[in-house]
Amino acid sequence: MVKALEIIEENSELINPYIPEVQMNLVEALPLHYAKDINDVMGVLGRIVRYGNKVKPVGPPSFGASSHLARAVLKIMEYKPSLRAALNIKYDERILEAARKLGLKISFYDRRREPPEIKIREGATIPWGIEEAIKRLGGEVPDIIYHLGDIGKEPMINIFGEDSLDVVKKLLKILRYLSEERTR
């Protein structure tokens, strides 16, 4: 996790434009046998924020530091235990197009279709959304899950991987592809 955060900082000018308004986080869960709740998932305390034209983790990696992404990882691990990490970035169709061209599996969920009984239960939206996105792929687990937001909810892209380094490598591969495409 520490190495992944160093790589994020080293590439911060590339990543900066894709930091969402709610900021970015990077999480990694303990193996499935040990990961029971969000306190078994390490995230960045205070998140990763824009800092001028750079990005910077506000605090250290800590267990229980994330709730949204932690719930996403815990849910995806129910389907594919090896996917123990995730990060969130701003929704941008160009990111999805680049990811498709790079062969990553992508799915989504529609927050506007969230059942009322899920919407009113604290912490239930993200697991519901992950499940919906996996169902949309016929049970296949995607590398990327996105949603287009809802009233008061920012559109978001989540990238999943086996560990925090894997997730950061996927992000950088996508962003470098986009950067190269712009210079062509």
Profile the chain (184 residues) by mean pLDDT over runs of 10 residues. 98 97 97 97 97 96 96 98 98 97 97 89 92 97 95 93 98 96 76
- Residue 72 is given by DSSP the state H
**Beta strand 106-108 with 144-147: parallel, antiparallel or unpaired?**
parallel
pLDDT score at 52? 95
- Whether the CB-CB separation of 76 and 27 falls below 8 Å is answered with no
pLDDT score at 97? 97
pTM of the model: 0.96
Structural domain boundaries in the chain: 2-183
What is the homologous superfamily of the domain 2-183 according to CATH?
Class II aldolase/adducin N-terminal domain (3.40.225.10)
